[in-house]
Amino acid sequence: MKFALIFNPFKYKVHEENLRVVQKYFGMFPPLSLAWVAAIARDAGHEVTIIDARTLNLTKREVLDRLRSFKPDIMGFMMTTYMFVDTLEWINYLKSQLKVPVVIGGYNLRIYPKESISYPQIDYGVIEHALDTIPHLFEALEGRRKLEEVAGLVYKEKGHIKLNLPRPVEFEKFPNPARDLLPNQLYAEFPTERKNFTVMITSLGCPYKCDFCEAGRSVYNPRSPETVVNEMEECFYKYGIREIDIFDYDFTIDKKRTIAICREMRNRNLDILWACRSRVDIDPELLKEMKEAGCGRIYYGLESGSQEILDGINKGITLDQIRKTVKYTKELGMKVLGFFLVGAPGETRKTVKKTLKFAKELDLDYVQFSKCLAKPLTPLWRRMIEKGERDYWQDWILAKETDRSLPRPWTELSNKEIDRLARWAYVNYHSRFLFLLKASLRVKSFKEFKRKFLGYLDMIFSQENVSREDDKFVAYHEERR
C-alpha cells in the first residue's frame, strides 16, 4: 500500500489552555506521532510519505499536488480533541479531490472513537497505538484479513460504526520514528539553542493523579535505556540533531532507568543538549547525573505558589520541595522552566499574585502560565460529567458546539479575569530589567535572539486582554521571517 500521512497547520482556539501569544511562539515541532505511524507501516512493507504542511507552510492545494504525484492508496491524519475541526477541514478538501480512504488516529480517538469517525469522509480510526493495528488494517484492505479481526480499529459497516477493542502494546517494540521523512532542519522550540532540533518520547503514561491532567493514572510504559540511547544516536549521526526535547510526561519517574540512560549517553559521547519534564520530588543524585549527560533544561510542573492550591489539585508536592529542587537545578547549571496554572480549584486574585511572587522568587529562566481547564479525561472533567453537565468536548467533536471559553465552577474568578490574570502574570514576570538583561546575555545566536525578542514584543503590544479567535493565526516560524 502507498500511505500518505499529512500534518496540517492549526489555529489558536479560545477553549485551549494557552494564551494566543504562547501558542504562536511555542515552536515548530516534528509531527512525532505520524513519524511513529510511518515507521510502523514501513516496517510492515508499505511505502510511506509524511507531508508536514504546517512546517513547510504548504497550502491545501500544494499538498494536493504533492499527493497527486505520490498517488496514495490511503491517507492518514493525526487528530487531537482541541484541533479536531482544523484537521477535519483538511480531510474534507483532500478527500473530495483524491477519493482514497482516510484513516485517522491520535489521542482523541481514545476518548471519542465513534464520534470521530462519524463523518462520511473518514473511513477508519486507530483507537490507540498503530503498532499492530495499522499492519493488520492494511492486510485487511489487501484482502488478507477481515476488518473484524483488526484489534484497535473503529470502522463502518453497512452504515453502522463498529469498534474492535485495542490490545495492550509494549512501547519497547516500536521502531524509531521515521525522522528521515521529516524536514529536521526546520524545527525549533522557543528556548532551543542548537540545530538540528527534535523531540523524543521515551515512555508512555504517568502514574500520578493530578486533577488537571489527562494522563494521570495511565500505565507507565517505558522504552529500555539502550533503545532510548540508540534512538538518540540515530538522531545524532543520521539527522545531524544536536538538541532534543524529551516530551515524556515525566522523564524521571524511574530513577534507575533515567540514570542508565544518562550513563549510556556519556559512554557513547553524544554531544547532545537535551531537556525534559519532571516533578520536583526528584532525587538530587539523579539531577547531577542528568547534568553530566548534557541536560540543559528542565521543565517542572510547579502549578502554584499557594500550598492550599497544590493540595487541592492533588499535586502531592510542597512549596519547600519546589524551592530546594529549583535552587539545586540552577546550582548545577541547568535552566529551569516552571509550568503554572491560573484558575485552579480555589483560585483567587490573591493566590494568583502569590504564584507570580513565588515564580519571581524562584527566578526561573522560563515560565508558562496556563489556564486551568477541564480537559477530557482529567478528574476535573470527570467530576463535571458525573454532575450531569453536558460534555462540551464530545459536542465539539460532533460539531454541535463552537469554540468558546469553558466554565470553571471550581473558582470564584470569571473566565475574563483568568485571561487577564494569565496575561498580567506573563507581562509582569518578563518585564523586569534584570530578567531581560540576563536573558539577553545568554542568547547564543541571532535567530534565538530574534525569536525571543519578537515573542516579548508581541506579548507586550499585541496581546488581547480576553482571549478571542484569530482567523489570521500563523505560528511563528523562524525560517520564514
List the one residue out of 65, 58, 124, 120 whose CA is nearest residue 97: 65
The Cα–Cα gap between 111 and 125 comes to 12
Q: Shortest distance, CB of residue 335 to ligand B12, whole angstroms? A: 20
What own/partner pairs with CB < 8 Å and gap ≥ 24 does 133-142 have? 133/166, 134/37, 134/40, 134/41, 134/44, 134/103, 135/40, 135/41, 135/43, 135/44, 137/103, 138/1, 138/3, 138/41, 138/44, 138/46, 138/74, 141/1, 141/73, 141/74, 141/101, 142/1
Q: Which residue is nearest to ligand B12 (CB)?
A: 105
Among 82, 138, 208, 251, binds ligand B12 (CB under 6 A): 82
* Per-position DSSP letters for 36-64, written without gaps between them: HHHHHHHHTT-EEEEEEHHHHT--HHHHH
Q: Quick check: 16 binds ligand B12 (CB under 6 A)?
A: yes
Q: Shortest distance, CB of residue 266 to ligand B12, whole angstroms? A: 26
Q: Quick check: 215 binds ligand B12 (CB under 6 A)?
A: yes
Q: Are 133 and 126 in contact (CB under 8 A)?
A: yes
Residue 37 or 326 with smaller CB distance to ligand B12: 37
Residue 130 or 326 with smaller CB distance to ligand B12: 130
Cell numbers for 180, please give them. Answer: 528521515
Give the end-to-end CA distance of the chain in Å, rounded to a whole number: 38
Q: Shortest distance, CB of residue 469 to ligand B12, whole angstroms? A: 14
Residue 33 or 258 with smaller CB distance to ligand B12: 33
Among 105, 222, 225, 301, binds ligand B12 (CB under 6 A): 105
Segment 223-282, which members bind ligand B12 (CB under 6 A)?
A: 247, 249
Cell numbers for 232, please give them. Answer: 538518540
Segment 28-57, which members bind ligand B12 (CB under 6 A)?
A: 29, 31-34, 36-37
**Bridge-partner residues for 367, per DSSP?**
338
Judged by CB under 6 A, the stretch of 64-72, 126-134, 220-228, 455-463 that binds ligand B12 is 126-134
Among the residues of 182-302, which ranges form H helices? 225-239, 255-267, 284-292
Q: Quick check: 129 binds ligand B12 (CB under 6 A)?
A: yes
Judged by CB under 6 A, the stretch of 123-131, 264-272, 407-415, 438-446 that binds ligand B12 is 123-131
Q: Quick check: 104 binds ligand B12 (CB under 6 A)?
A: yes
Please give the single-letter amino acid code of residue 347.
Answer: E
Q: Shortest distance, CB of residue 99 to ligand B12, whole angstroms? A: 18
The Cα–Cα gap between 167 and 471 comes to 40
Q: Shortest distance, CB of residue 431 to ligand B12, whole angstroms? A: 25
Please give the single-letter amino acid code of residue 50.
Answer: I
Q: Which residues bind ligand B12 (CB under 6 A)?
A: 5, 10, 16, 18, 23, 29, 31-34, 36-37, 76-78, 80-83, 87, 103-108, 111, 126, 129-131, 134, 199, 201, 214-215, 247, 249, 376
